[in-house]
C-alpha cells in the first residue's frame, strides 16, 4: 500500500491529515524557498500506530487548527514521518518546530526531557547572549 492510500485508510490522526491543499509531491519539494518547506520529524513508531492515535499528544494537537499536517511511512519501515507547515500567522515556524519535537518525544518516550532548573546555578550578565541563543534554540535549527 502506498503512503497516500495508507493515510486515507487510517483512522484517527491519519484520517484527519491534510492530503490535498498544500500537500506536496517529491519533485516540488526541491523547488521552494526555505520558508515554505514543510517542517518534518520522524517518529520511530510504525505508521499504523501513529496514524491510528486518537490525537497526537502534546503541543502539536493544540496548534492543529493553524497548521497543515501530513503523515507518511518512512522508507524501509523506519517509523512515521510527520510533516507540518503553518497555515496562518498565528503559528510561527519556531513554535511548530518545538511542537513537532515535543510530540515526537512524547510518542517515543512518554515525556519531554527537562534541563536542570536553573540550568546555570548563578546566571550572571556575561551569560546574557548565550541565554538569548539558548532561549531560542529549541525553535531554531534545521528540522
Partner 1 sequence: MRALCWEGVNDVRVQDVPDPKILDDRDLILRVGLSTACGSDLHLLTGHIPFMQAGDVIGHEFMGEVVEVGSGVTRHRPGDRVVVASFIGCGECWYCRNDLWSLCDNTNTNPGITQALWGADPGGIFGYSHAMGGFRGSHAEYVRVPFADHTAIPIPEGVDDLSAVFASDSAPTGWMGADLGGVRPGDVVAVWGSGAVGQMAARAAQLLGAERVVVVDRFDYRLRQAEHVFGVETLNYEHTDIGAALREMTGGRGPDVCIEAVGCEAHSYGPQHAYDQVKSKLKLETDRPIAVREAIHNCRKGGSVFVLGVFSGLVDKFPLGAVMNKGLTLRGAQQHGQRYIPMLLDRMASGELTTTHLATHVLPLEEGAHGYQLFKDKEDDCVRAVFHP
Coil vs helix vs strand at 114: coil
Classify the phi-psi angles of 76: left when phi > 0, otherwise alpha if psi is within -120 to 50, otherwise beta. Answer: left
Query: How many other C-beta atoms are found inside a 10 Å radius of the C-beta of residue 11?
Result: 12
Which string of x and - marks every residue 79-118 that binds partner 1 (by CB under 8 A)?
Answer: x---------------------x--xx--xx-xxxxxxxx
| Least distance from partner 1 to the Cβ atom of residue 137, Å | 3
| Least distance from partner 1 to the Cβ atom of residue 23, Å | 25
Name every residue whose Cβ is closer than 8 Å to that of residue 18 and which is 6 or more positions away in sequence: 68, 69, 70
| Least distance from partner 1 to the Cβ atom of residue 76, Å | 11
Coil vs helix vs strand at 18: coil
Q: Is residue 34 involved in binding partner 1 (CB under 8 A)?
A: no
Binding residues vs partner 1 (CB under 8 A): 42, 44, 78-79, 101, 104-105, 108-109, 111-124, 126-127, 130-131, 133-134, 136-143
Amino acid at each position: 500500500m502506498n503512503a497516500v492510500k495508507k493515510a486515507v485508510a487510517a483512522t484517527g490522526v491519519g484520517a484527519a491529515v491534510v492530503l490535498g491543499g498544500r500537500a506536496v509531491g517529491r519533485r516540488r519539494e526541491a523547488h521552494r524557498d526555505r520558508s515554505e518547506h514543510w517542517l518534518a520529524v520522524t517518529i520511530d513508531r510504525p505508521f499504523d500506530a501513529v496514524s491510528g492515535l486518537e490525537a497526537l499528544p502534546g503541543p502539536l494537537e493544540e496548534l492543529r487548527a493553524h497548521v497543515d499536517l501530513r503523515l507518511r511511512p518512512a522508507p524501509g519501515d523506519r517509523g512515521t514521518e510527520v510533516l507540518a507547515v503553518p497555515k496562518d500567522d498565528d503559528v510561527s515556524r519556531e513554535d511548530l518546530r518545538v511542537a513537532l519535537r515535543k510530540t515526537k518525544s512524547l510518542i517515543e518516550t512518554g515525556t519531554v526531557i527537562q534541563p536542570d532548573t536553573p540550568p546555570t546555578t548563578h546566571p550572571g550578565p556575561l551569560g546574557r547572549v548565550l541565554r538569548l541563543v539558548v532561549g531560542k534554540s529549541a525553535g531554531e535549527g534545521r528540522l
